[in-house]
Amino acid sequence: MSAAPFDWDRGFALDFALADGLSRTAVSTKRRLSQMRGMYSDGAAFEALLAKEDPLVYEFYELGAPDRPGGLAFGTSVTYPGRVGREYFMTKGHFHTILDTAEVYYCLSGQGVMLMENPEGDVTQAPLTPGQAVYVPGRFAHRSVNTGDTPLVTFFVFRGDAGHDYGTIEEKGFRNLIVERDGAPQTVGNPRWK
């Protein structure tokens, strides 16, 4: 990680610069549309959009928390507004490598939904709206979906050694999708879920 001025042994405070993520103190990881091939249900709409532009779908700021079981990793995630066909812009979503690791998200701005599901097939979702906290239980994969027309900004925190498993979702998808119907978000089953 970068040599950011975070003293994980003695503590620190930082200007979280919420309006623009952590741009003064950390570098974001960016996910453009071209990095999400196969993740949206409407493949034709995906290719049509990508032929015109390669928009930034989401980015997240991590601080490089040490990989220690007693530590906490935290940062912000920004999912931008947009759609691929009827499906809203979203993060890839992931399980934690230490599967039984919970996470808390706190919505700072924007409107959206947190999609969650566990390997046993339990599926749930929670609104992401400013001032609301969402508790993602252990074992649940999680994906942020922006259903509004402004950036969806959340603060997240989870145990520092949890790790991320993106591959399972890249392979299987989520069981549910959030799509626009008559101008409003609707949850529908994913016909391509494996």
Q: Which of 103, 126, 152, 154 binds Mn ion (CB under 5 A)?
A: 103
Q: Mark the segment that binds Mn ion (CB under 5 A) among 1-9, 70-78, 85-93, 98-106.
A: 98-106
| Residue 64, token pair as written in the block | 């490089």
Interacting residues with Mn ion between 10 and 29 (CB under 5 A)? none
Q: Mark the segment that binds Mn ion (CB under 5 A) among 43-51, 70-78, 100-108, 183-191.
A: 100-108
- Least separation in angstroms between residue 118's CB and Mn ion is 13
- Which H or E run contains 158? strand 152-159
Q: Answer yes or no whether residue 59 interacts with Mn ion by CB under 5 A.
A: no
Q: Answer yes or no whether residue 87 interacts with Mn ion by CB under 5 A.
A: no
Instruction: Dihedral sign for Cα 19, 166, 121, 162, please.
Output: negative
Give the single-character DSSP code of 89. P
Residue 103 vs 117, nearer CB to Mn ion:
103
- Whether 130 contacts 152, CB under 8 Å: no
Residue 87 vs 103, nearer CB to Mn ion:
103
Cα distances (angstroms) measured from residue 112 to each of 44, 128, 175: 24, 5, 18
* Beta-bridge partner residues of 118: none
Residues contributing to the site for Mn ion (CB under 5 A): 103
